[in-house]
Amino acid sequence: MKTYTNYYFVGAGGIGMAALERYFKSKGANVAGYDRTRTALTDALAAEGVEIVFDDDPNLIPKQFEPDNTLVVYTPAVPADNAIFTTLRSGGFTIFKRAQVLGMITEGSYGLCFSGTHGKTTTSSMAALILHESGVGCNAFLGGVLRNIGSNLILSATSPFSVIEADEYDRSFHHLRPYVAVVTATDPDHLDIYGTEEAYLESFAHFTELIRPDGALIVHEGLKLVARPPKGVKTFTYSLSSGDFHAENIRRREGEIIFDLVTPDHVITDINLGVPVEVNIENAIAAAAACHLTGRVGDNDIRKALSDFKGPKRRFEFWLRPADDPLGRAIIDDYAHHPDELRASIKSVKALFPGRELTVAFQPHLYSRTRDFAGDFAEALSLADKVVLLDIYPAREQPIAGVTSKIIFDKIKCRDKVMISKEKLTETIKICNFDILLTAGAGDICDFLPEIVESVVCRQADNDE
């Protein structure tokens, strides 16, 4: 890949873009960009030396960023009529998609690529931590900030391995060349891009064609996927209780999940999950399988890293633990934005806190996803005792006629439900007398959590007085 003095990112606040910005910054390059919204992530990037602007004004592009010394990186979520992007496109700059750049950076490495409708951020983060803590090392480009290291980027000057979250949106993962490819799930999503489930599945099938002939494919059992790996690629299956890699002797205790991992050649005993929720058993199996197949990671390395694992931010992240609250309440935040993710998250919370009352505050993400899966979202939310439903977070989309959160709300079966604007979330939670609270969605619902926690703690302190 050609080296540039300057790198300009259009859509600089995205979590995937952030990893690349940090990567080029570590190489000594000048890094700048534009994003529509200022967030905690853009503030963190600015503190690290990335110059980000939030006004769509081409005059704000740094003067030293010229066509002959600058690579422009963009995300497909940026609208075509964005003024800065339009200026760069017409100005003779070299322009690549984020996925193209990621593919070029990792080309020539042994890439462990984690794909799937859900689970890919957690599994790739687990694998990155295993390689990192084992001393084998890796260059990891993650879709979430791994709390163990406080970043979504891990760098190694000597490791031949890279760990990549292989995103199917806009067929981005077709720019990768996996050494080990993992497919966690293929439940239809991004139908605004693919149109049909068949096209979505075909995209994953093509992804399996890109595996290096000396590599491996690891697929969750039972998927609607007809894989087409090249000749020479070894194929393995995994699931909770069957497949080439699976768990046995699962022990669920208060606040703990311990299991033995069955591999094709032996058993790795007593894996104690650092984030002990049900969905992480399968996530850990997939991550450990990928690392095991490198032939460079020992059983103790896998065991220790999975025990140390704190999880990515916004993936079953505790904001208040029962031990820290006089009333034993808990607040958990999860990125779940697909019906199957939401269902799995709710079931995991209920399994972790059996018999407790669960309140779920959910912010739907995208009009198209809400339209396509309204019934499925309602079915998942009906598993909760109480539901607080927010307006749709539009992200990259314009409104669709007739599509609001109400098409989910009307189908939710639990009686204790309310639909509000996000501005009323903190006050609603404050007065709802929750026991266990799960906030979920891929929008900005997490931005309200500091205020929610503070209001809950302050209210309890006032009551104590």
Within a domain: residue 40?
Answer: yes
Its domain, for residue 159, covers 108-308
Residue-by-residue DSSP string for 59-97: GGS-TT--TTTEEEEE-TTS-TT-HHHHHHHHTT-EEEE
Residues 302 and 324 in one domain: no
- Which pLDDT belongs to residue 252? 85
Do 212 and 303 belong together in one domain? yes
Structural domain total, the chain: 3
CB 218 within 8 A of CB 183: yes
Going edge to edge, which strands form the sheet with 216-220? 151-154, 139-146, 161-165, 110-115, 180-183, 216-220, 234-238
What gap in Å lies between CA 13 and CA 390, rounded to an integer? Answer: 23
**354, 385 Cβ separation under 8 angstroms:** no
> Do 158 and 247 reside in the same domain of the chain?
yes
Asked whether residue 130 is assigned to any structural domain, the reply reads yes
Q: What is the pLDDT of residue 344?
A: 86
CATH value at residue 359 = 3.90.190.20
Examine residue 1 and state whether it is found in any structural domain, yes or no: no
Residue 18 is predicted with a pLDDT of 92
- On whether residue 102 sits in a domain, the answer given is no
Q: At what angle do helices 15-26 and 40-47 cross, to 10 degrees?
A: 0
Looking at the fold, whether 50 and 188 belong to one and the same domain comes out as no
In 10 A of CB 100, how many CB atoms?
A: 16
pLDDT at 108: 87
Do 10 and 45 fall into the same domain? yes
Please give the model's pTM, rounded to 2 decimal places.
0.77
Q: Rounded distance, CA 440 to CA 418, Å?
A: 15
What's the pLDDT score for residue 387?
A: 95
Residue 325 lies in a domain: yes
**Which ranges constitute the DSSP H helices of 167-235?**
191-194, 197-209
Let me know whether 80 and 113 are in one domain: no
* CA pair distance 307, 451, nearest whole angstrom: 31
C-alpha–C-alpha distance, residues 318 and 65, integer Å:
42
Q: Based on the fold, state whether residues 300 and 342 are members of the same structural domain.
A: no
How many Cβ atoms sit within 10 Å of the Cβ of residue 92? 10
Q: Do 53 and 135 reside in the same domain of the chain? A: no
Q: Give the end of a domain, one of 97, 122, 155.
A: 97
> Strand 161-165 and strand 110-115: pairing?
parallel
290: domain CATH number is 3.40.1190.10
- Domain end marker among 274, 308, 342: 308
pLDDT averaged per 10 residues in sequence order, the chain, 465 residues:
91 90 93 90 93 96 95 88 94 92 90 91 95 96 88 92 89 92 86 82 94 97 93 97 97 85 97 90 97 96 96 81 84 88 88 89 92 93 95 87 94 92 90 90 89 76 50
Last residue in a domain, options 308, 341, 374: 308
Q: Are residues 299 and 359 in the same domain?
A: no
For residue 445, tell me if it sits in a domain: yes
183 and 64, same domain (yes or no): no
Q: Are 253 and 235 in contact (CB under 8 A)?
A: no
How many angstroms separate the Cα of 54 from the Cα of each of 46, 50, 57, 297? 12, 13, 9, 44
pLDDT in tens, 214-247: 999 999 999 999 999 999 999 999 999 999 999 9
Q: Provide, for the chain, the percentages of residues in helix, strand and coil under a 3-state DSSP scheme, each rounded to the nearest 5.
A: 35, 25, 40
Structure tokens that stand for 89 in this block: 């496109």
Instruction: Please say whether the beta carbons of 452 and 424 come within 8 A.
Output: no
Query: Does any domain span residue 270?
Result: yes
Whether residue 249 is found in the same domain as residue 357: no
Asked whether residue 113 falls in the same domain as residue 198, the answer is yes
According to the model, what pLDDT value does residue 247 have?
98
Does residue 103 lie in a domain region? no
- CATH number of 34's domain: 3.40.50.720
